[in-house]
Amino acid sequence: MKIDKKIIKELTEYLNEFGLTEIEYTDKDTKIKVSKWVVPNSSETVSVAASTSEPTKKLPKAVSGTEVKSPIIGTAYHAPEPGAKKFIEVGKKIKKGETIMIVEAMKTMNHIPSTVDGIIKEICVEDGQPVEFGQTIIIVE
């Protein structure tokens, strides 16, 4: 069996482009799975306080409000096109069903609607940042 390195390279590029940790490709009787090990960033590491020798873990931020999560993986955009007015801003009132962001997946621009009414408390992803399925993209009060 000859392994097509071109497919593996393309899958690896998708991992990096979309911020994925694993991707799988199946064609007839060929199955290729590419994955990478993600090293936790410094905010998830265990730190030692200067006054004691006991390790302390950083606790996750307490979320007050409703988290709106990404329904797909892709790249998040805050505006319909570069330089255009953003869909949402912190402090702005939104209604259920209103577009809050666009997530591009495989060259398709997917308008992501709000799942609740409320006021934008926090925008959790930067413009142009990759997002995962289920990742919190905004918090609404």
pLDDT recorded at residue 1: 60
What pTM did the predictor assign?
Answer: 0.54
Backbone phi and psi for residue 11, each to the nearest 5 degrees, phi listed first? -65, -40
With pLDDT > 70 as the criterion, what percentage of the chain qualifies?
80
Fold designation for 66-140: OB fold (Dihydrolipoamide Acetyltransferase, E2P) (2.40.50)
For the chain, domain boundaries: 5-35, 66-140
- Extract the tokens encoding 59: 């606790």
- Kind and range of the H or E element at 7? helix 5-18
pLDDT at 57: 42
pLDDT of residue 63: 57
pLDDT value, residue 7 = 81
